[in-house]
Amino acid sequence: MARIVQKYGGTSVGDVERIKKVAERIKGTRDEGNEVVVVVSARAGVTNELIARAKAVCPDPSERELDQLLAIGEQETIALVAMALQGIGADAVSYTGAQAGIFTDKVHTKAKIQGINPKPMEKELKAGRIIIVAGFQGADDEGRITTLGRGGSDLTAIALAAALKADKCEIYTDVDGVYTADPRVVKNAKKIPEISYDEMLELASSGSKVMQSRSVEFAAKYDVVFEVRSSFNHNPGTIVKKEVAYMEKVVVRGVAVDKDQAKVIVSNIVDKPGSAAKVFRALADASVLVDMIVQNVGRHGVANLTFTVPQTDTRKAVKALEPVLAAIGGGQVAVHEHIAKLSVVGVGMKTHSGVAATLFQSLAEAGINIELISTSEIKISVVIDLDRVEEAARVAHAAFHLDQV
């Protein structure tokens, strides 16, 4: 007998029929003799509907009231999933975030989990019941409902797995695992059976949309092993865990593409200490997330700064830069949106040289020009022309023999 936490996203519980299917799967896990705790999201679309209704009564509602409103999305699905289980003869009980003892700070719409009281749930599990917990939500010390922000339901599942010392945590989603590359782009992409937290994090920050970094970080911190798998089939998924010895054999784990970046070039700024700091301070103050940064010192004591930002932030970035350039005495800003970021990720890089050389050479042979390069211990990212990025992904995938893992 194992203790298993499962998480089903909004698409998996999108309507009555899917809720019934999910209930069958949950009951199957219980019938194998396991203790089962299930985390569910709101039905797909419900959160957006509720936000639209809120905006219709008030253009700028308080975040406390938004949380109070949004929390009903999951409260609906927990009750319906528990009922669907009862309908097929399983003993199930639903818990809101507050009822599950998920305590958070008071930062509405993006609260952080402070602790979980596992006692009431331990009692239910002992009594043989399946527990259905609302993802994405908790309550502060005054009993006010908070929500955890994007990716919150995954976080709930991983935090519950840690608090309940679960043997397994299964994140059910609409993809059936983490692939060596996006299978829609690279036809012979392979599902990765096991991946380390670090690699998963680098893939998440490189445009692979399987999970938010935050949940992976939490899992790494509390050493929660979890599996990403599909609720629409029974294929094994990808197991995410701490680095293990054999992982080092694989140098590159996967290739990720991010098309939502823009390149910003600040040229001809005076090359003196503090100029770059002023530029990036201004961007930080405007909450612009800057990713890759490259600085070239040009002739005549002027420098060029190039960096990437999310496309949605480019206007904000340009607006934030104008007063800075005036203050530091000149410089021009240019934005290139027709670019994409390609990253290769793998913990094996730490101990293998030549990864960068292999990547650059393969792209050069394909005639693909590299505009920017940045590296971390386990990742190499390049910015290239948007029109060539899918081809580049296939080239890199082949260069590292990822179809053979």
Residues in the site for a copy of itself, rule: CB under 8 A?
16, 19-20, 23, 50, 53-54, 56-62, 64-66, 68-69, 71-72, 75-76, 78-80, 82-84, 86-87, 93-94, 96, 98-99, 120, 142-145
Which is nearer to a copy of itself, 22 or 200 (by Cβ)?
A: 22
Which is nearer to a copy of itself, 78 or 195 (by Cβ)?
A: 78
Which is nearer to a copy of itself, 54 or 294 (by Cβ)?
A: 54
* DSSP state string for 86-142: HHTT--EEEE-TTTTTEEE-S-TTS--EEEE--HHHHHHHHTT-EEEEETTEEE-TT
Beta partners for residue 89, in sequence order: none
Which is nearer to a copy of itself, 133 or 355 (by Cβ)?
A: 133
CB of 29 to a copy of itself, least distance (A): 18
Which is nearer to a copy of itself, 70 or 344 (by Cβ)?
A: 70
CB of 59 to a copy of itself, least distance (A): 7
Q: Are strands 302-310 and 293-297 parallel, antiparallel or unpaired?
A: antiparallel
Beta partners for residue 329, in sequence order: none
* DSSP state string for 54-84: HHHH-SS--HHHHHHHHHHHHHHHHHHHHHH
CB of 133 to a copy of itself, least distance (A): 12
SS3 222: helix
19 membership: H or E segment, kind and range: helix 16-31
Which is nearer to a copy of itself, 145 or 257 (by Cβ)?
A: 145
Which is nearer to a copy of itself, 57 or 245 (by Cβ)?
A: 57
Q: Are strands 194-196 and 226-230 parallel, antiparallel or unpaired?
A: unpaired
Q: Are 66 and 109 in contact (CB under 8 A)?
A: yes
Which is nearer to a copy of itself, 124 or 167 (by Cβ)?
A: 124
CB of 75 to a copy of itself, least distance (A): 5
SS3 201: helix
CB of 333 to a copy of itself, least distance (A): 37
CB of 98 to a copy of itself, least distance (A): 7
Which is nearer to a copy of itself, 71 or 269 (by Cβ)?
A: 71
CB of 171 to a copy of itself, least distance (A): 23
- Residue corresponding to tokens 């693909």: 368
CB of 87 to a copy of itself, least distance (A): 3
Question: What is the C-alpha separation between 241 and 260, in angstroms, rounded?
Answer: 28
CB of 11 to a copy of itself, least distance (A): 17
Strands, E assignment, 242-325:
254-258, 261-270, 293-297, 302-310
329 CA to centre of own chain = 40
| Residue 235, token pair as written in the block | 């294929």
Give the burial class of 268: count Cβ atoms within 10 A of its Cβ; 0-12 exposed, 13-18 middle, 19 or more buried. Answer: middle
Q: Are 22 and 88 in contact (CB under 8 A)?
A: no
